[in-house]
Structure 1
Amino acid sequence: MVLWLCDLQTLKGRFHTMLAVQSELISAIRSIPDYPKPGIVFRDITTLLGNPRSFRRAIDELVHPYAGTKVDKIAGIEARGFILGGAIAHQLSAGFVPIRKKGKLPHETVRIAYSLEYGVDEMEMHEDAIAPGEKVILVDDLIATGGTAEGATKLLQQMGADIVAACFIIDLPELGGRKKLEALGVKVRTLIEFEGH
């Protein structure tokens, strides 16, 4: 009985801590209405990145579930995924792999086409960036429709990566991106959700 109460207290404490973290992160993110077009609320994480306490909190919370887990590489999606991914790679003692828009990497690459809301684009990574079987976490700042993250996931799978998870600070659940990744068998970790677009 005492053990059960201790576990309950631990869970209760973690829940309250997570609520405090979510509140802090939400208040550190600037919301810009009608950008880049009317009806869209842009979630600008540059204010979070500029706040040392909030930036550290976000990285710590993204890393927490994987501390002690073998992770070989962090794959960051251009551009904010580079900032977050580099910090996460450092904390997990993992390598960092950039996933970039086509034509931006200097060596031989592997490329994949992916769907955008209004068209198709391509992303790529160096052909020797990930060895088959390496454990990889995919990172970006936000998941919305999931087109970019889905493309990055398929690119990593094409390379033979064992995707541990995909991590994002923000989820816009109404747009369904999380479900796309989960349908590919990828665990998704997000820290906060915003309604709408």
Structure 2
Amino acid sequence: MEALQYPIGRFEAAPFYTPAMLQEYIYDIRDLPTLVELAIQQLDEYQLQTPYRPGGWTVAQVVHHLADSHINAITRLKLALTEDKPVIKPYDEAAWALLEDVNNTPVNVSITLLHALHTRWANLLEKLTPEQWERVFIHPEHGTHFNLKTQTATYSWHGKHHLAHIQGLKERMNW
């Protein structure tokens, strides 16, 4: 079950981040919408409503979750860039996945949103100064300060993690 839930492994923060690592994470963020779009483009409604693992979200819920999560990520980035150590607002992502917009919105709407959002996000990340990369926000659930390097690494992993859910399901189901 661990392999189905974490197909690329759990996120592990690096002890330090080089400029080359950060650039790779930015590429991952920029490319994710296209990769997700390609992964789902041939899926029918039945396939989109199939959970990627027992007890897991459906493919459609995963796509909508990426949009929800990444909206929060860019908001947190901008808060960290414009405020001194802001305390971010957590959200219940499992509850968000059950809201009616997830059930009644075609996945292509969230794909379109991801394309626009990730373009803006990557464009902003590419212009950060070394000092800006060190800015932090505070996550109240963890009581931890997250700098923007770690946040960017986390969301690079997050996109690949959910893409692997979709790709793994397709492979197991021979779709």
Q: What TM bracket, shorter-length normalisation? A: under 0.3
What TM-score results when the alignment is normalised by the length of structure 2?
Answer: 0.26
Higher strand share: 1
More relative contact order, 1 or 2 (CA 8 Å, 6+ apart): 2
Higher helix share: 2
